[in-house]
Structure 1
Amino acid sequence: MMQTKIIVQNLKCGGCANTISKNLITLEDISDINVNPEESSVAFRYTHESSLQSVEEKLKHLGYPVIGDANTYLNKAKSFISCATGKMNQ
């Protein structure tokens, strides 16, 4: 099992972290998810290299592209929705 930490864009608060955690836990092969808004980081364990790609795609879909990826207006808009959803479900 491998562990990694990735830095993402648009991660600002506990609402964002809540949405990210709830969505990543649904992915197969992903465990020990730790989202840190202060560091804009998402740490997790996985066993297959393809799982890392799945996480990055899911994060981008939610509006939190990995640092280095284009942060479009669409990503920012999605992150606001994900953030609001996370706040309502806390």
Structure 2
Amino acid sequence: MEKQMFTVSNISCGHCVATIQKELQELDGVTNISGDPQDKTITVEWEAPTKASQIENKLTEIGYPALA
């Protein structure tokens, strides 16, 4: 199991977090997603075959790019 925190500068509310959760849950292997609008972070847990790069790509695709 992998776990990583992503900083997403344009998260502003719980609705943003809910949108991200809905979209990331569509990726195979994603098991848990939590977010904190105050810290502007999303924490994702996943198993293979998903990779961190796929999560980053999905975040960018839905308008919430992760900062490097």
TM-score when scaled to structure 2? 0.86
Structure 1: which 4+ aligned runs deviate by more than 4 Å?
Answer: none
| 1:6-59 deviation digits (Å, cap 9, x = unpaired) | 111211111111100000111101111101111111101123485211111111
Structure with more of its chain in strand, by fraction: 2
Structure with more of its chain in helix, by fraction: 1
Q: Between Structure 1 and Structure 2, how many residues are aligned?
A: 68
| Ranges in structure 1 where 5+ consecutive residues have no aligned partner | 69-90
Quick one: distance in 1 between partners of 2:18 and 2:45? 18
Cα contact 1:3–1:46 (8 A) shared by 2: yes
SS in 2 for 1:21: helix
Instruction: Name 1:39's counterpart in structure 2.
Output: 39
Percent sequence identity over aligned pairs: 28
Please give the residue correspondences for 1:1-90 in structure 2 after superposition, counting only pairs within 5 Å. Answer: 1-48=1-48, 50-68=50-68
TM-align CA RMSD: 1.5
SS in 1 for 2:51: helix
- 38-47 vs 16-25, greater mean Cα deviation: 38-47
The residue identity in structure 2 corresponding to 1:51 is K
TM-score when scaled to structure 1? 0.68
